[in-house]
Structure 1
Amino acid sequence: MHRGKGMKFVGDSRVPAPESRKRMLPKDYSEYPGKTEAFWPNFLLKEWMIGAVFLVGFLSLTVAHPAPLERIADPTDTGYIPLPDWYFLFLYQLLKYTYASGPYTVIGAMIIPGLAFGGLLLAPFLDNGPERRARKRPLATGFMLLALAATVFLTWQSVATHDWAAAERQGKIVAKVDIDKTSDGYKIANDNTCLTCHGDSFQGGAGAPTLIGTGLSAEEVAKIAKEGKGGKMPPGIFKGDDEQLKKLSEFISGLGK
């Protein structure tokens, strides 16, 4: 008799299959109504639609309010008031506070932003529950609202406290003019420390405006030189006589004409 000849094999459904033979398939998303949805195309299409709305809105703002063109950057102008792009304004404002600036700059520039963005990166791992309702996730919702409120507040404070008038004067494009540095008017300006604030070419700086193309008459310039103007230019800076004042005022009023 040959081996196996006449043998019959019978299967019994009551015998469970080994665990290793079970197929570990995830449940279909339809078994969780209201909890999840198909990534393609449902979820991805919604993401694209939201992104398209924000992109169109942002492009519309750039067309309606184009970025102003300022003069060429001058690294020697220590009085220039810098301002980062709008999405960094909250970090810029943070560096103005006592314990985030000066000797504590490393706290405001690295530690606090590092903790904030590090927490954002770890959020999916720290709060990985299946619940999607915000009130059922108090920690994640609370930290999200705190971060959003801090960002909005710091951005608003940065815009509200910035000296926009001074920044506009400093960034104004001024036509270059040939200045005769051997003239009496230039020498008088140098002797009376005018160049210290207004620059060696009267281009402005250190919080002082440019003196090129001011549109002021010689009499108006002389009055400002003697009586001052605002809080940044006190009276009594000019120390020369009337003849020197006349030469200086005529020289400055003629710049850029």
Structure 2
Amino acid sequence: MKRGKGMKFVTDSRVTANRTPNIPKDYSEYPGKTEAFWPNYLLKEWMVGSVFLIGFMVLAMSHPAPLERIADPTDSGYIPLPDWYFLFLYQLLKYEFAAGAYTVMGAVVIPGVAFGALLLVPWLDGGKERRPYKRPIASGLMLFAIVAIIFLTWEAVDDHDWEAAAEQGQIVDDIEIDESAAGYEIYQSQDSCISCHGGDMLGGAAGPSMFESDYDKDEVMDIIINGLNDMPADQFEGTDEELEILAAFIANDGQDPDNGDNGEDEDDNNDANENNE
């Protein structure tokens, strides 16, 4: 019997006889329009990202974030300012069509439409052209958005009162205020004082710290009654006795003057007793 006699060979049509080698696509077919994702495109993206990252790191190290004093919720004169990348939205809320009764338009509707359109760009514009001048609608909208952001940011910086902001945010030396003193309680009952000088008496946007000048009690009383510079007169709501207590408290740098006098009297008595002995 011959070898292989009576045997049949069955082939599978799904298996190709000639397999093509696994080689990358020829991107030279459309020069300037297509390129390999790895490593060409990914390398370019990494290089651009590295440049921006290094730039932000240099900017952060050369201009560190400024620190301000502890926030005072009772300071109604404080002028808030968001970070620089939100200044264009901050400025948008100053316009009539996006403020007041239309705050929702400036805070929700307009930014929502803008950022929503940015997310939908891949579906709204499916063109294969990569040259900006051949995509006038997409390029025009993007240029309009960039110009609007730059303009609003510039307007926010130009309109802001930077001198007042620097004064209201200055870090002052820690002052231990005697909150149990009668003068402090009287001050807390004066809304006109708190609105300008803050609940901690260390100053706000409209008024300076009450302890930055070396006034005596009579001078403090005169300022409270007659005013000084931008400070209006006759703002104190209380009796003459309360005015005198408050003035003495301010002149004594936030300490109860009675406690200080008592302490000095005790020291004098102790010295006298030592001398008698």
Q: Kindly, what percent of the aligned residue pairs are identical?
A: 57
Shift in CA distance, 40/179, structure 1 to aligned 2, threshold 3 Å: same
Aligned partner of 2:41 in structure 1 is 43
- Of 92, 111, 114, 1:116 maps to 114
CA contact (8 A) 1:90 1:155 kept: yes
Alignment of 1:44-63 (within 5 A): 44-63=42-61
Residue 229 (structure 1) aligned with residue 229 (structure 2): yes
Alignment of 1:14-33 (within 5 A): 28-33=26-31
Alignment of 1:71-110 (within 5 A): 71-110=69-108
2:43 maps to a residue whose letter is: L
Instruction: Give the Cα separation in 1 of the matches to 2:183 and 2:37.
Output: 78
Shift in CA distance, 216/139, structure 1 to aligned 2, threshold 3 Å: farther
CA contact (8 A) 2:186 2:242 kept: no
Instruction: Give the Cα separation in 1 of the matches to 2:192 and 2:178.
Output: 17
Aligned partner of 1:203 in structure 2 is 202
Instruction: Give the Cα separation in 2 of the matches to 1:188 and 1:256.
Output: 11
Aligned partner of 2:193 in structure 1 is 194
Aligned partner of 1:149 in structure 2 is 147
CA contact (8 A) 2:74 2:198 kept: no
**CA distances 1:211-239 after superposition (whole Å, capped 9, x unpaired):** 23x14444986775535223xx2355479
RMSD over aligned Cα, in angstroms? 3.5
* Structure number with larger C-alpha Rg: 2
Report deviation, 1:195.
Answer: 4.2
Instruction: Give the Cα separation in 2 of the matches to 1:63 and 1:221.
Output: 44
TM-score in terms of structure 2 length: 0.69
**CA distances 1:63-116 after superposition (whole Å, capped 9, x unpaired):** 111111222223333332221121111111111111111111111111101110
**CA distances 1:34-84 after superposition (whole Å, capped 9, x unpaired):** 222111111111111111111111111111111112222233333322211
CA contact (8 A) 2:78 2:205 kept: yes
Report deviation, 1:186.
Answer: 7.7
Instruction: Give the Cα separation in 2 of the matches to 1:200 and 1:185.
Output: 10
Instruction: Give the Cα separation in 2 of the matches to 1:185 and 1:109.
Output: 40
Aligned partner of 1:20 in structure 2 is none
Report deviation, 1:167.
Answer: 2.4
TM-score in terms of structure 1 length: 0.73
How many residue pairs are counted as aligned between the two chains? 230
Shift in CA distance, 105/74, structure 1 to aligned 2, threshold 3 Å: same
